[in-house]
Amino acid sequence: MTHLPRLAIVLLLLVVPALAAAQSKTPGAADTPLAAQPEFALRLAALSPDDPAAYLRLGEEVLALGKADEDAALARRLFGLAYELARRDADKPGVQASACIALADTARFERDRRWLWSIARLIDPRYSEPDWSRTVERDVSPESAFYAATTLGLLRSGEGVRARELLRDPGVRSVFTWYSGLLTGTGPGDVLTMLDREAQRWPCPECHNERIVHQMKDGQAVTVRCFTCRGNPGWPLSEAGFLATLRFESRVLAGVQRSWGAQLAADLGEPLRDPDPAAVVRSIGVDATKCVYSDGHWTTPE
């Protein structure tokens, strides 16, 4: 008899979750596709191929309010129709680019998102990102460029005397002035003062770049690591600063080295996709000829 209450509790714990799961699977109004609701059905039927922006606006609303899986598919169809109808109308590149970006935001794979964004930038220059990597080409002699790159290497290794000699060259100083943004990372700046200061710091005033010093301990001479440079003389750079010096050297020496290994690790050798504006609707499986909604189906305009 003492086991009956415990058994009842166990049965109750098993039955209540099952009932809750059964109720959760019961379709409600929130799970009903928006296209099946009379209000949205009328709005879909009111769409006209002459107004691509209306497809885009309704697609955004469906994406925001939809709960069912069919709603996401409907939103993508509306975005695709808005894109293709606007593409046929050369006077509406803004609607076309906006629809392309909406498709990119709903894409499942990153490669598809990048491809759609490249098409949007091709269609509407307003979506193009500024290219901060371009610099005005300077007439820099190969000799000055080589010595400027060498100066950075000398500073990193603590060879301040030789670095000061190179920094006296007007040609070397002009290279650092022209391409100072590559070292600062924030645009032009007074990098010559920084380089002159670092050149004055080295060699190490304590160990003279020997990395070790001798001192007496318990009446005996012992060798220890230098207390000033900590055994590592040279320009103390952070990771970002070190990469900035390498970027500067690569630029002034016209370096074009690229790693195929890094490229393969990034995209697994995937072939490049041309940003073809005509291929957008095909990529999402939408038949743009059926752009009129009638009686619950998409048909071609009469």
Contact 287, 293 (CB under 8 A): no
Write the pLDDT tens digit of every residue in 83-113.
Answer: 999 988 776 778 999 999 999 888 877 778 8
Q: Which helix (H) or strand (E) covers residue 57, if one does?
A: helix 52-65
Q: Which residues contact 254 (CB under 8 A, 6 or more apart)?
A: 145
pLDDT (0 to 100) of residue 136: 47
For 209-246, the pLDDT digits (tens) are: 999 988 888 888 889 999 899 889 999 998 888 888 88
CA-wise closest residue to 37 among 78, 64, 68: 68
Question: Residue 176 and residue 28: Cα distance in Å, rounded?
Answer: 69
Q: How far apart are CA 90 and CA 178, in angstroms?
A: 43
pLDDT value at residue 225: 92
| Local mean pLDDT, 10-residue blocks, the chain (302 residues) | 53 52 46 81 91 93 86 91 87 85 85 87 74 53 91 93 94 88 67 91 91 86 90 90 87 61 51 79 89 88 80
Give me 187's structure tokens.
């645009």
Q: Are 216 and 238 in contact (CB under 8 A)?
A: no
Q: Is the pTM of this model over 0.75?
A: no
Decide: helix, strand or coil at residue 288. Answer: coil
The domain segmentation of the chain, as residue ranges, is 29-129+283-299, 142-203+233-252
Give the list of residues 6+ apart from residue 264 with CB closer than 8 angstroms, or none. none
Q: Is 299 helix (H, G, I), strand (E, B) or coil?
A: strand
Residue with tokens 């059926």: 290
Can you give the three-state secondary structure of 173-241, one letter per residue?
Answer: HHHHHHCCHHHHCCCCCCHHHHHHHHHHHCCCCCCCCCCEEEEEECCEEEEEECCCCCCCCCCCCCHHH
Of all helices (H) and strands (E), which one includes residue 248? helix 239-252
Q: What is the DSSP letter of 108?
A: S
Tokens of 195: 């380089």
What is the C-alpha separation between 17 and 75, in angstroms, rounded? Answer: 34
User: Under 8 Å CB-to-CB from 300, ≥6 apart: which residues?
Assistant: 289, 290, 291, 292
Q: Which amino acid is at 31?
A: D
The neighbour count for residue 79, using CB atoms within 10 Å, is 30
Instruction: Please provide the distance, in angstroms rounded to a whole number, between the alpha carbons at the two ends of the chain.
Output: 78
